[in-house]
Amino acid sequence: MGGAFDLSGRNAVVTGANTGLGQAIAVALAEAGAGIVAVGRSDMSETGDRVRALGRPFRAVTADLSSLEPVARVVAEAETAGRPDILVNNAGIIRRADALDFSEADWDAVMDVNLKSVFFLSQAFARRMLADERGGRIINIASLLSFQGGIRIPSYTASKSGLAGLTRLLACEWAGRGINVNAIAPGYFITNNTEALRADPERSGQILGRIPAGHWGDPRDLGGAAVFLASPAASYIHGIVLPVDGGWLAR
């Protein structure tokens, strides 16, 4: 790896890196040369094994991002691995129910992880990135629901729509100070969050029928977009929400 997409010598913090999209992003960043700090609630040893197999340093930080309690600790522990240059806000949860039946508890749980913690984690890392005037990269993992309404996931849709707006706001405030803030909007990928959809033959068929690529995304399909936005190649890109969706939004 070299040139405009080389991340050698940089350190990336990836939340929700134990499996799925977060794991794929962490491995892709490591393949491009970055050291990885993985943040999450569950065991991240598989991700660690894959990163170390590439010859990159790996550190796991256990944290539950359903509250702000661990934010300062996450930053402090991440810094023990070196200066954080890249933050990927991937951790997220989803709750499904009709809007008429949706509970306050499910609303608050999703908004706390998907939006509130993302903002305050970004704020904390941005303070570190600005302290030495070397800047950095923040990549938020948005969703197709940042553009569309969805069905039976009101708090998830609200959180991901809010995340798109937050991405633009932070870009407006921090672009001139050396921090690139952008987002990736995954389409329908094979992850734990889509297990219920994939198990429903009717709904899965409807989804596949609209994806021009003709198949669900593999988490590895997201890696290139993350490397691009984290790399020098994207130095003049600020505030975008980049769909990686097999052509879903084009149809």
| Catalytically annotated residues | 156
The CA-CA-CA angle for residues 109, 113, 119, to 5°, reads 135
Alpha carbons within 13 A on the beta-carbon side of 73 = 12
- Exposed, middle or buried by CB within 10 Å (0-12, 13-18, 19+), for 250? exposed
* CA-closest candidate to residue 109, choices 72, 63, 155: 155
User: Residue 179: is it exposed, middle or buried by C-beta count within 10 angstroms (0-12/13-18/19+)?
Assistant: buried
DSSP state for residue 201 in the 8-state scheme:
H
Alpha carbon 132 to chain centroid, angstroms: 25
